[in-house]
Amino acid sequence: MAEVERIIARYRKLVFITWFLTLDLIMFGAFVRLTDSGLGCPDWPGCYGQATPLGATHHITQALEAMPYGAVSFFKAWIEMIHRYAGSILGMLIIAIVYMAWRHRTVLRNTPRLATFVLVVVCVQGAFGAWTVTHRLMPIIVTTHLLGGMSLLALMTWLAAREKGHTAISPAIHPMMPWAAAGLILLFVQIALGGWVSTNYAALACMDFPTCHGQWLPQMDFREGYSLVRGLGVQSSGQAISQYALTAIHWTHRNFAFVVFIYMGILGLKLRHEPGLRYPATLLLVLLFAQLLTGLTTIFFQWPLLIAVLHNGGAAGLVLITVTLLVRIARANGSKIPL
């Protein structure tokens, strides 16, 4: 019996450490993107073919001499490589989770399919991380990489939530499950729109609020703004992306945020009436207001780095809280989400 308890405790500790590293990696990934460090080492998986920027000193120095304010510097190279090292550690931890989930599946009393699916997702995420570099920060690749990170966080939150003790929740709350699932979908749409803003450097396309360029409906170019297959900073025709396209990107993300805020706010208020959901539902409301505040602050203070990173972290927090609510609501009826 003692051996069984040790296995369960070891597995749970591994899951929660991996979940925490996933959240940290998303935050650090935002820091990589916002400091323009995505091409700090313009090859993959190494840095100019070396394991660390120390071995690439000559190449980085040459790049700096050619373009002193370009994408390559020692600072950016280390930021990019630390992100890759952390991603590799995360992958190894997930492999360990899958190994334990299959080997001790009778002891853990949970299907190992979810852990296996997490491994598949992290492998795909790693591929997109490589393509981010090899495709020179192509917006659709970088945005998909962001969504992959959020998906991985959602899955790890689900995996971790299964290992926590059950909270007594009334079965009467179970009909709210489709509404919570719809909220999660809305969050991912908004994250995709936000990622598109960030990867196209459109955060400052509208410098006033609540209007944009002094108008409620400014002149915009949605066709080029949301043309998916194109390089960074250019239109599908190869010409430089216009201010009208950047305005369309920013304006869409800004206004869809109000849809998400209202929907998730109502959802949080309804779920707070259930004692077993009061804490996560309250946290959901707090994070919503924090997201609104950091979003507005990026405009008024012209996108300071710390606030922008916190804004990305707030989105991650909303995802993990919504997934936690979904898992608890599913348990209210004695059912489990598939996997």
pLDDT digits (tens, 9 = 90+) for 206-234: 989 999 999 999 999 999 999 999 999 99
Task: Identify whether residues 179 and 119 lie together within a single domain.
Answer: no
Give the model's pLDDT for residue 49. 94
Task: Identify whether residues 84 and 66 lie together within a single domain.
Answer: yes
298-320: average pLDDT:
88
The dihedral of CA 298, 200, 141, 135: what is its sign? Answer: negative
Task: Identify whether residues 185 and 36 lie together within a single domain.
Answer: no
Distance of CA 286 to the CA centre of its chain: 19
- Start-to-end CA span in the chain (Å): 27
Tell me how crowded residue 314 is: count the other CB atoms within 10 A of its CB: 20
Mean confidence (pLDDT) of the chain: 92
Q: How far apart are CA 306 and CA 211, in angstroms?
A: 25
Q: Which of 194-203, 274-283, 300-309 is least confident?
A: 300-309
Task: Identify whether residues 86 and 123 lie together within a single domain.
Answer: yes
**What type of residue sits at position 39?**
L
Residues 207 and 299: beta-carbon distance below 8 Å: yes
Which of the listed residues 121, 140, 165 is the one where a domain comes to its end?
Answer: 165
DSSP H stretches of helix in the chain:
2-34, 57-66, 74-103, 105-108, 113-134, 139-163, 177-199, 222-225, 243-271, 278-300, 305-332
Residues 129 and 87: beta-carbon distance below 8 Å: yes
Task: Identify whether residues 182 and 274 lie together within a single domain.
Answer: yes
Task: Identify whether residues 261 and 326 lie together within a single domain.
Answer: yes
Give the model's pLDDT for residue 214. 93
Give the model's pLDDT for residue 337. 58
Task: Identify whether residues 178 and 66 lie together within a single domain.
Answer: no
pLDDT at 298 over 90: no
Q: Which of 161-165, 250-254, 278-282, 315-319 is least confident?
A: 161-165
Q: What confidence tens digit (pLDDT) does each residue in 37-69 have?
A: 999 999 999 999 999 999 999 999 999 988 888
Give the model's pLDDT for residue 186. 98
Q: Residue 215: beta bridge partners?
A: 212
Q: How far apart are CA 93 and CA 181, in angstroms?
A: 28
| SS3 at position 151 | helix
Burial code (b: 16+ CB inside 10 Å, e: under 16) for 22-33 equals bbebbebbbbbb
Q: Which domain holds residue 123?
A: 1-165
276-290: average pLDDT:
95
Distance of CA 91 to the CA centre of its chain: 16
Which of the listed residues 101, 132, 165 is the one where a domain comes to its end?
Answer: 165
pLDDT at 113 over 60: yes
pLDDT at 338 over 70: no
Task: Identify whether residues 306 and 206 lie together within a single domain.
Answer: yes
Write down the catalytic residue from 5, 80, 163, 224.
80
User: Is 80 a known active-site residue?
Assistant: yes
Which of the listed residues 165, 198, 225 is the one where a domain comes to its end?
Answer: 165
Task: Identify whether residues 172 and 38 lie together within a single domain.
Answer: no
The set of residues, in sequence order, having a beta carbon less than 8 Å from that of 117 and lying 6+ positions away, is 155, 339
Q: How far apart are CA 287 and CA 313, in angstroms?
A: 10
For the chain, state the CA radius of gyration: 22
Spatial CA neighbour of 264 closest among 328, 321, 333: 321
Preceding omega of 280 cis (within 30 degrees of 0)? no
Looking at the chain, the whole-number percentage of residues with pLDDT higher than 90 is 78
Query: Which DSSP state fits 56?
Result: G
- Residue of 106 and 90 predicted with greater confidence: 90
Task: Identify whether residues 285 and 151 lie together within a single domain.
Answer: no
Give the model's pLDDT for residue 287. 97
| SS3 at position 166 | coil
Tell me how crowded residue 109 is: count the other CB atoms within 10 A of its CB: 9
Burial code (b: 16+ CB inside 10 Å, e: under 16) for 57-92 equals eebbeebeeeeeeebbbeebbbbbbbbbebbeebbe
Give the model's pLDDT for residue 3. 84
Looking at the chain, the whole-number percentage of residues with pLDDT higher than 70 is 96
In this structure, what token pair is assigned to residue 88? Answer: 């590799």
Preceding omega of 210 cis (within 30 degrees of 0)? yes
Domain count for the chain:
2
Give the model's pLDDT for residue 335. 55
Task: Identify whether residues 274 and 300 lie together within a single domain.
Answer: yes
Give the model's pLDDT for residue 252. 97
74-88: average pLDDT:
96
Give the model's pLDDT for residue 243. 96
Q: How confident is the model at residue 151 (pLDDT cuts 50, 70, 90)?
A: very high
Task: Identify whether residues 178 and 305 lie together within a single domain.
Answer: yes
